[in-house]
Structure 1
Amino acid sequence: MAGQTNSVSVVVKGYGTHQFKVIGYNQNIYNFPISSGTFNIGGYDWRLVYYPRVRSRNEFDNDDYIEVDLELLSKAEVRVMVDLFFFNQITNLPYVVACTKEPMRLTKKIVWAACDLMKLSELESSGYVRDDSIIIQCQVTVILLPGVPKTKSLCEIEVPPPEMAQQFGMLLEDMASADVTFEVGGKSFHAHRLVLAARSPVFKAQLFGSMRDTRMESLVIGEMDPAVFKALLHYIYNESLPNMDSADRANRHEMLCHLLEAADRYAIERLKIICERMLLMDLDVENVAMTLALAEQQHCKQLTHACLEFMEPPEKMEAVVATEGYNKLKREYPALLFKVWEWSVHRRKN
């Protein structure tokens, strides 16, 4: 069954977006899957399939959820990164509902299935359904593999992937060429002035600005945990976050919160956005209250909206109120409770 699609399909060298507007949400009484039109990204044909009512894969969960699949229609084997968004049609803001954390392989027989995206009850009580429609946006990044041609071409010479990030990452371990040391919480970290200055305007001002001390070879960083500063340096040199797979969820969430603050402190905007996105994907009943406080402090508008939307359903809000995070929010950030209340009243009116 085909749905109406609005194909933005902004494509730049293997990266593109496709917007899929599903009309007749309430009229699909038989819950048929709805397919988008075919769109091309990276030289391959794709299609989105929306499943309006799917039982959770968790055998202990009896709720119905929605699912969105990305299908490769071309005869090929492709490695991709995918981000899936729902558009809130009241605020006109996108909300990340699923994303891949590393490249994955797709073929005509292997699809990407974003399961258990959202409970039907939550979807229908949110701003995502409006005028009997929902809007889904998919971002696809095609990753070329050596030896696997993307399309037929007159030139078959494969260019290796960029090496700069790897080389700079190795530079971080080269203490012999380091020319500045940071003292953070009793630990020392060696780095390179030019690299730091190129990556952060704050470091540039500290190391090369008019207030610098040319004799200074060591800087003391206050109010920061050594592990957070180490992760910050890792990003500066590698353009990626350190591996956090071994950390439990609570510790990972805490690290992302502190790293977002560090990114704001040193004006590293892309790192701040990465942390904001990962915190958004990691929201749960226990952490949403204090994540809201952090989002407000750091002026993260999308994360703020996500926290407010998360707490909007009455059953969710009831569970949040019982947490220590909410009690801390009441004690330390009472003004935010009014914002939560104001948001709920506004949504009920709409």
Structure 2
Amino acid sequence: MALSLSLARQTLRAAAVISCTAFAALIPLSASAAPVAMQQTQVPGYYRMAVGDFEVTALYDGYIDLDKKILSGASAEDIQSLLTKMFIDSSNGVQTAVNAYLINTGTNLLLIDTGAAKCFGSTLGMVQSNLKASGYSPEQVDSVLLTHLHPDHACGLLSADGKAAYPNATVYVPQADADFWLSDKAASQAPQASRGMFKMSQQSVAPYIAQQRLKRYSPDSQLFAGVSVIASNGHTPGHSSYLLSSKNQSMLVWGDIVHSYAVQFAKPEVVIEFDTDSAKALEARKKLFAEAARDKLWVAGAHLPFPGIGHVRTEGSGYAWVPVEFGPIRSDR
């Protein structure tokens, strides 16, 4: 019986091979010879989550490659070691995301920062297309809150034809940032290499000023219910973060507190040459790191890997970044 069963199995296997060979012979050569074309487009860059009753939508503007040499406060060897630890190839610059955040409070539709538009090349400028892909339109945005007036946050205020990209929105700018970046005197006294930044910032807000839709606010302002201003100046004179609070949940949208997640969480003392006042920028970063870790805040950062949302935890003498896990919109987390 065992011998017969073994023989039967061999017969079945042989029949299967013959059958498959015969079937393959029936397939036209053209079908097997033509490779399937690769799809070269990425998915739309938006990610949505709930913070209490608020809906937060992260919007990807794109990326820029930053030279690691613009970081200081640690040795070049230590900086490279931290980049290598995160498998980051810095030979052609470190890929750095630019993110914006759309907040639906149920009463207002707020956009925090607007991206770079085309001020810094073709790898940026996708905030509006991703906003539309997420189900909203620029016309629905009633308020734009800028963390600061650097062009990679403000240039997206303009459409391609130089008009207001958010035609129904009032733009809120920190008073100290407006006093600096919108000042002709400050621009004329700035180093020649920095004057282009002033020009781009001023052009970005010009249509809103002309329509009296630019508002300057002080650090202690309460702009909207559930949206508090957190002074975090140093990167720029008026750099500000926004604390979103709904029910028992909070999210800190902190702008440019971090430019290199691989380096600055582990070594908060590392600063970037774009800081107007590096000592104050360092002070603000240490303060917000400590508070975010202590209070287990959700954090959203303009230059953290998209969607730029997660938590900060302590690790040794420094900190570590814990990114959000992709999932459905849940209000119980």
- TM-score by length of structure 2 reads 0.23
Q: Which has the higher contact order (CA 8 A, sep 6+)?
A: 2
Highest CA radius of gyration, 1 or 2? Answer: 2
- TM-score by length of structure 1 reads 0.23
